[in-house]
Amino acid sequence: MSSAVLSTQALISGYEPDMPIINGVDLTVSDGEFVVLLGPNGAGKSTLVKTIAGLVPVHSGRVTLKGNDITEVPPHRKLAHGLAFVPQTENIFATMTIRENLQLAAQVLDRPRRAARIDALLDMFPDLGSRPGARAGALSGGQRQMLAVARALIIEPSVLILDEPSAGLSPKVVTEVFAQLRRINAAGVTTVLVEQNVKAGLQIATRGVILVEGRIAHDAPAEQLLGDPVVSQLYLGGTPKELA
């Protein structure tokens, strides 16, 4: 097993001090893994990744990245530690062009690196690279998500976290977005994905973690979860036939 790159220990968090949403989560993500977080609505999936990203207050417990305690590190400082987060909404600047979005994200880099990183990402995402002067607000839903991911990748993160990037997208576009996420992970970026589309999420991930009421209810290889009748019926609202 590869070494742990991201972990939470006895993590309790929530928006109100006396109303925790995450209830003692111990999660370890190994270097190079692709972990999908699943579970019913209200299970705490988005709250967990927002807590890791520094957007939800931690009541107790720890978040560590590459062995460093980043629990109290502000969100913008976590970029310097190699943690990139793509929120579900408001993840691009609609009035700016594609290139301007990337230029803004690149401000955290040393000036000599900026142009090279932007060019590399425009090459990585051909739909964006073919029209860098296009206004982001005029892009399709899938192209917007690609731009949001490209913005996150500008820092060459060690860990990429995405909160439901498939929301509102057609099945065809979801397939395209997820294929790109698989390629990014294969290139060495540890990936954590929050996803409501159980089948699609498990098909691209190496491991699935199911949250229920703010706690980890099940943690297993993705392939195993796809065919587990108990897991699918109790936690995922389906049957093995539907998920396979």
pLDDT digits over 55-85, tens only? 999 999 999 999 999 999 999 999 999 999 9
Mean residue pLDDT of the chain comes to: 92
**pLDDT of 4-26, one tens digit each?**
999 999 999 999 989 999 999 99
DSSP 162: E
Tell the burial category of 162 from Cβ atoms under 10 Å away from its Cβ (0-12, 13-18, 19+): buried
Which residues share a beta bridge with 64?
Answer: 7, 69
Chain position carrying tokens 């297993």 = 220
Query: Higher confidence at residue 219 or residue 3?
Result: 219
Chain position carrying tokens 């579900």 = 88
Structure-token pair, residue 28: 């370890």
CB 212 within 8 A of CB 22: no
Could you tell me which CATH class the domain 4-92+157-243 is placed in? alpha beta
**pLDDT of 151-193, one tens digit each?**
999 999 999 999 999 998 999 999 999 999 999 999 999 999 9
CA distances from 217 to 116, 126, 163, 228 (A): 43, 39, 20, 14
What per-residue confidence (pLDDT) applies to 240? 47
Which residues share a beta bridge with 220?
Answer: 208
Q: Where are the domains of the chain?
A: 4-92+157-243
Tell the burial category of 212 from Cβ atoms under 10 Å away from its Cβ (0-12, 13-18, 19+): middle
CA atoms within 13 A on the CB side of 223: 1
CB 160 within 8 A of CB 152: yes
Predicted TM-score (pTM) of this structure: 0.92
